[in-house]
């Protein structure tokens, strides 16, 4: 594995953790001081904030797994077939654990 792939993975992880810390706060709805439309909009904003926090937390979890794979010397190796994951795929998806062929096979098997 190249040091640029490792640096990109660590940078991506730090970015996601930073976003999670900054954006994960879910605003509260104050029903007493708002009319119905303001309250509805506030609740929608809360739901979007929760969804965003959930997605960021899941991404951070996948990146943490990738960092563990890196420490174990398994980063960049397909967990399904054992071949090398192309560097361009790792740059696009730093938390990828499968090569393109295995990922396509897994996606088609899921349908």
Q: Provide the domain limits for residue 12.
A: 3-109
Q: In CATH, what number is assigned to the domain containing residue 97?
A: 1.20.120.910
Q: How many domains does the chain have?
A: 1
3-state secondary structure of 84: strand
The predicted-structure confidence for 76-102, as pLDDT tens digits, reads as follows 999 999 999 999 999 899 999 999 999
CA atoms within 13 A on the CB side of 61: 6
Bin 77: left if φ > 0, else alpha if -120 < ψ < 50, else beta.
beta
Cα(5)–Cα(59) distance, rounded to whole angstroms?
A: 17
The predicted-structure confidence for 22-70, as pLDDT tens digits, reads as follows 876 666 666 566 688 888 888 888 888 889 889 999 999 999 999 999 9
Structure-block tokens of residue 23: 């954006």
């Amino acid at each position: 594995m190249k040091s640029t792939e490792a640096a990109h993975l660590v940078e991506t992880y730090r970015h996601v953790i930073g976003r999670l810390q900054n954006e994960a706060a879910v605003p509260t709805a104050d029903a007493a001081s708002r009319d119905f439309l303001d309250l509805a909009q506030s609740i929608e904003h809360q739901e979007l904030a929760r969804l965003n926090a959930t997605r960021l937390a899941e991404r951070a979890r996948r990146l943490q797994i990738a960092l563990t794979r890196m420490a174990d010397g398994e980063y960049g190796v397909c967990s399904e077939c054992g071949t090398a994951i192309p560097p361009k795929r790792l740059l696009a998806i730093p938390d990828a654990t499968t090569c393109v062929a295995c990922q396509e096979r897994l996606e088609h098997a899921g349908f």
